[in-house]
Amino acid sequence: MELLENQFEYTFLTDDIKKTMLIDYIKDLEANHYSLALVEPSRLKEQEKYQAWKSQIGQIEQQILKVKSKYIDAYGELTEVVVKEKVTETVTEVVKDMHGNVIEEKS
């Protein structure tokens, strides 16, 4: 990526962390874009608000394209990095009668 990275060495940011950060940033930008798209003002009734909205959503779109381009330049194809944790859970099934008394319990 052609930022300060060429002149600055990050000690704690691995490529996976950087990828995750960029993807999270893109997700945030896309969420902002989506939120704005939901509240588009009337082009005829609220012309000033519409122009401000259009400018704001256009800036977000440009930022999304710019960050995606930086990601692709640095890491190739834009794919999401997913970190999965193994979660173990215990499920207990309880059968009760109509009075709430436990009839059967399975773990």
- pLDDT value of position 79: 67
Could you tell me which of 76, 79, 107 has the C-alpha nearest to residue 20?
79
* pLDDT tens-digit readout, 38-92: 999 999 999 999 999 999 999 999 999 999 999 998 888 876 655 555 555 566 6
- pLDDT value of position 56: 96
- pLDDT value of position 96: 64
- pLDDT value of position 32: 96
Q: How many CB atoms lie within 10 A of CB 71?
A: 20
Q: At what angle do helices 47-75 and 15-38 cross, to 10 degrees?
A: 160
- pLDDT value of position 63: 96
Model confidence pTM above 0.75: no
